[in-house]
Amino acid sequence: MATSENESKDTITVYQERLDELDATLASKMDRWSVPALRTAVGVVFIWFGALKILGVSPAGDLVASTVYVLPPEFFVPVLGVWEVIIGICLLYPPLTRVGLLLLALQLPGTFLPMVLLPEVVYTTFPYGLTVEGQYIVKNLVIIAGALVLGSTVRDEPVSA
C-alpha cells in the first residue's frame, strides 16, 4: 500500500514539475514578446484610428466635432488624425518612443472631455452606465497603461546618434 501512495505522489510531483516547466517557458516567451506586441498594437491602433479621421470616415469624428466646438470640425478632425498617425509611427519606431509618448500625453486628456462636456452622449446612467461612445472613451485607460509600460522601456533602448 505504501508503494502505491509513493508512486501516486511521484506521479503528482512529475506532473507539477512539468507544469512548472511549461509555466516558466510560457512566462519567458511572454516576457520576451509582450513589450514588442504592445508597442505594435498601440502603434497600429493610433495609425488606424488617425487614418480614419484623415479620410473622414471615423465613427468618432462626430464626437470629436461635438466636443471641440471652438475649431471647425473639417479642420480639427483631420489634424487630430494626423497627430494620431504621428503618435503611432513614433511608437512603432523605438528611437522615437519618447516623442510619441509626449504627443500621446498631450492628446489623451482631450479624449476624456466628452465625459464632462457631453454626458448625455457618454452615459446611459450616470456615472456607471456607458454608451458605446462612453466605452470607446474609457478604453483609453488601457492605452494609458500601455503607454506607461512603453515609457518604462525607453532607457533600455539604444539612443540613436
Average model confidence (pLDDT) for the chain? 93
Share of the chain above pLDDT 90, in %: 86
Q: Please choose, from the candidates 143, 86, 151, the residue with its C-alpha nearest in 3D space to the C-alpha of residue 110.
A: 143
Q: Is the pLDDT of residue 7 over 70?
A: yes
Q: Is the pLDDT of residue 1 over 60?
A: no
Cross-strand pairs, 115: none
Q: Which three cell numbers stand for residue 19?
A: 507544469
Strand 123-125 and strand 129-130: the pairing is antiparallel
Give the pLDDT of residue 6. Answer: 72
Mean pLDDT confidence for 87-108: 97
Please state the pTM of the whole predicted model.
0.86
Residue 54: CB atoms within 10 A of its CB come to 16
Give the pLDDT of residue 161. Answer: 46
- For the chain, the structural domain boundaries read 9-153
CA 5 to CA 91: how far, in whole Å? Answer: 56
